[in-house]
Chain A
Amino acid sequence: MKKISFTVCLLLFGTGIFAQMGLPELKDVHKVVVKNYWGDQKIKGVNKDDGSFSLSVLFTDTSKKHQVKERELQEYVSLYKEKGTLYVLARQPEGFESIDLNLQIPSDIQVVSELFKGGNIYMENLDKGVEVNSFNGSVKLKAIEAYALVSAANGEVDIQFDRVDPSKAISLISLNGGITVTLPEKVSRDVRLISRKNGYVMSQFQFSSERPVKNLNTMAYSKTPIIASVTINGGGSLLFLSTQNGPLAIKKLN
């Protein structure tokens, strides 16, 4: 079988380049929606002083190898803006192919991400919250602020918050995989814990609850569901952690 080859396209999009491509100015963008089928998503927030939007694409197919040039990028990715939202949409796969998206955006933009088939999602330094719907692959989010809603199918969910909006719910659900969330130590939350199978609960926060939590801070996989409602630091907005298969962990930010 012919070795899978990689075609790499590294292309930086500044406002000027978007303008060259006939796309609108991006100054008033407050939300970015990123969607692809197969491939990784890497999204990094930067200070506005350190740059603006940039996008690089890694295209992989089974048969040929060629350099994707700037003018060809639209063959793989659609970019358009609508009502303050920038859409970055990879094309539907033609045969076996994957398209990795490496996106840099100002950190004060909300991100909505969807990965329809498979790939890993990495995000970093995003201040306005993230919403992720991933089907196969891990979800690793670091230095996130405000809130996160994550739905994953197969893969670990690991999210570290630098700060949270006390009024916003956080919800992390997975079909098959453990969930780890790291929170600032003074965060107050109502916590809903659901681990249906092979689960335990590790928490660096003190739980308050009417009933004891099964397999709490014991690395022993439970064959029966762990379902509990607790509070940390007196309670507050919801922190919802649910997986069909795997452990749950709540850590304190160092």
Chain B
Amino acid sequence: MNADEHLINLMRHLDGEAASSPEKDTLSEVNELKNTVRALEELPLEEPDASTDENIMRFLDDKAQTAANPSKLNQWLPYMLVAASLAMLLYVFLPKKLAQRYDLIETNPDRISFIHELNNQELSSKELLWLVSLLEIEEHPNIRVTLIDLIENQGMDSPVEFAGYLVNERTPAVQMAFLNTLDRQFTPEIRPQLIAFNERADLDPLVRDRIQGILINK
């Protein structure tokens, strides 16, 4: 009898299915096996920790969700795409230059607020040149006076441009703001424009006194 046949013979005796009584050695082995099984059955039952169940259930839930949403990246992907698209649009279309931002402002008080905020920035010479050129375009007198004040605060000297704008300026308060600046920034090359301004017939007496004072003293 080989080992496999011997093991099958033992199992038949253990289960009570053998046709004949076991031999002495076989009986000894059968009894030993029966004692071992009995001893195993009498061992105390170890209860698993309650948290084990919870951990298992959580693990199963996570598995189920993962199955429904293959990955967290996939879950947020549409939002990420929308955000990325918006960022791209903003990058492309939001004005990066002062002039572009200024052009989007609709009301005069908001334009003055925008100009006022520039006092807190150190402006480049290109930006200052744009502000000077804005004096030619901007029609509102209060905006022009705020611009002149800002340009002067930023230390920008533009006597030639200022004198050119002065010649056609209509509002006395703005004329005076130009003259106050030109008095400090006077250069001989602006004298012809100041003379032309002085020849205007519509000047307010206070403005005329001011321009004549500059022409006499310079």
A131 and B108 in contact, given A154-B204, A175-B204 (Cβ under 8 angstroms)? yes
Contacts of B107 in A (CB 8 A): 168
A215 at the interface (CB under 8 A from B): no
Among the stretches B20-28, B87-95, B124-132, B138-146, the one at the interface with A is B138-146
Interface contact B116-A151, CB-CB below 8 Å: no
Give the contacting residue for B109; candidates A147, A174, A176, A196; CB below 8 A: A147
Give residues 154-178 of A contacting B (CB, 8 Å). Answer: 154, 165, 167-171, 173-176
Q: Which of B112, B171, B206 contacts A151 (CB 8 A)?
A: B171
What are the residues of chain B within 8 A of A6 when measuring CB–CB?
none
Contact A168 B113 (CB under 8 A): yes
Contacts of A133 in B (CB 8 A): 141, 171
Contact at B204–A171, with CB atoms within 8 Å? no
Measured between beta carbons, the chain B residues less than 8 angstroms from A171 are: 109, 112, 142, 145-146
Question: Is the Cβ of B172 less than 8 Å from the Cβ of A238?
Answer: no
**In the assembled complex, which residues on chain B have CB atoms less than 8 Å from the CB atom of A190?**
116
Q: Is the CB of A149 within 8 A of B109?
A: yes
Q: CA A193 – CA B216 in complex, angstroms?
A: 29
- A-chain residues with CB within 8 Å of residue B207 when the two chains form the complex: 175
Which of A167, A240, A245 is within 8 Å of B146, CB to CB?
Answer: A240
Report if A153 contacts B (CB, 8 A): yes
Q: Does B149 contact A (CB under 8 A)?
A: yes
Q: Given the complex of chains A and B, what is the CA–CA distance between A176 and B204 in angstroms?
A: 10
- The yes or no answer to A129 lying at the interface (CB within 8 A) is yes
Query: Given known contacts A147-B109, A151-B173, A245-B206, is B141 in contact with A238 (CB within 8 Å)?
Result: no
In the complex, A104 has a CB within 8 A of chain B? no
Collect the chain A residues with CB atoms within 8 Å of residue B174's CB.
Answer: 151
What number of A residues sit within 8 Å (CB to CB) of B?
31
The number of residue pairs between A and B whose CB atoms lie closer than 8 Å in the complex comes to 86
Q: Tell yes or no: A57 within 8 A of B by CB.
A: no
- In the complex, are the beta carbons of A238 and B173 less than 8 A apart? no
Q: Name the A residues within 8 Å of B204 (CB-CB).
A: 153-154, 175-176
B contact residues around A120 at 8 Å (CB): none
> When each residue 157-181 of chain B gets 1 if its CB lies under 8 Å from chain A and 0 otherwise, what string results?
0000000000000011110110010
The answer to whether the Cβ of A237 comes within 8 Å of any Cβ in the partner chain is yes
The 8 Å CB contact of B116, one of A165, A169, A173, is A169
Complex Cα distance, B142 from A147, in Å, reads 13
Known A-B contacts A135-B172, A238-B112, A238-B116; the reply to A151 vs B149 at CB < 8 A is: no
Q: Chain B: which residue is nearest A227 at the CB level?
A: B149
Chain A residue contacts of B173, Cβ below 8 A: 151-153, 173-175, 242, 244
Contact of B206 among A135, A150, A192, A244 (CB under 8 A): A244
Cβ of B146: which chain A residues have Cβ within 8 Å of it? Answer: 169, 171, 238, 240
Which residues of the other chain, B, contact A169 by a CB distance below 8 angstroms?
109-110, 112-113, 116, 146
B113 in contact with A167 (CB, 8 Å):
yes
The reply to whether A173 and B145 form a contact with Cβ atoms under 8 Å apart is yes
Chain B residues 84-111 with CB under 8 Å of chain A are 107-110
* Nearest Cβ on chain B to A171's Cβ, whole angstroms: 4
Q: Which residue, A147, A151, A168, has most C-beta atoms of chain B within 10 A?
A: A151
Q: How far is the CB of A172 from chain B (nearest CB, A)?
A: 8
Q: By the criterion CB–CB under 8 Å, are B180 and A168 in contact?
A: no
Cα A169 to Cα B171 with chains together (Å)? 20
In Å, the complex CA distance between A175 and B112 comes to 19
**Across the interface, do B206 and A149 meet the contact criterion of CB distance under 8 Å?**
no
Smallest CB gap from B145: residue in A: A173
Give the distance to chain B from A161, nearest Cβ to Cβ, in Å: 13
User: Who on chain B is nearest to A150 by CB?
Assistant: B142
Whether A192 contacts B149 by the Cβ 8 Å rule is yes
Q: How far is the CB of A143 from chain B (nearest CB, A)?
A: 19
Could you pull out 10 A-B pairs where Cβ atoms are within 8 angstroms? A149-B109, A150-B142, A151-B141, A152-B173, A154-B206, A196-B180, A237-B116, A238-B113, A242-B149, A244-B206
Interface residues of B (CB under 8 A from A): 107-110, 112-113, 116, 140-142, 145-146, 149, 171-174, 176-177, 180, 204, 206-207
What 6 A-B pairs are tightest by C-beta distance, nearest first? A169-B112, A168-B109, A171-B142, A151-B141, A238-B116, A153-B172
Other than the given A153-B172, A169-B113, A171-B142, 6 more pairs (CB < 8 A) read A129-B109, A151-B145, A154-B204, A168-B110, A169-B112, A173-B145
